[in-house]
Amino acid sequence: EIVMTQSPATLSVSPGERATLSCRASQSVSSNLAWYQQKPGQAPRLLIYGASTRATGIPARFSGSGSGTEFTLTISSLQSEDFAVYYCQQYNNWPTFGGGTKVEIK
């Protein structure tokens, strides 16, 4: 099983600031990496797939980068609706998710 490790567990950011979330895989997953956003009481929403491709309807302030074992999700200027939990997921093998990063208001 490929283990996905996200850091930090919690990120405190002020609205309008940049947020950088990290995800590390225990072995290479090539570019088979997705990012999801989940708000309380809601289902996850796909943000990024293929490590860097934005899903349909996702604002340009969300960007993904990386390949192999190291990945980053960047939110360029946090909006109020962006405060949520973010999960990375690899699908190079049977899918596994990271433990999540909670982005909270500073």
Partner 1 sequence: QVQLVESGGGVVQPGRSLRLSCAASGFTFSSYGMHWVRQAPGKGLEWVAVISYDGSNKYYADSVKGRFTISRDNSKNTLYLQMNSLRAEDTAVYYCAKDLGYRGRDAFDIWGQGTMVTVSS
Site residues, partner 1 (CB under 8 A): 1, 34, 36, 38, 42-46, 49-50, 55-56, 87, 89, 91, 94-100
Query: Residue 55 has what DSSP assignment?
Result: P
For partner 1, the closer CB: 35 or 78 = 35
Min dist. Cβ of residue 81 to partner 1 (A):
18
Compute the CA torsion angle 8, 64, 80, 19 (nearest 10 deg): 40
Rounded CA gap, 44 and 53, in Å? Answer: 17
Question: In angstroms, what is the minimal distance from the CB of 104 to partner 1?
Answer: 16
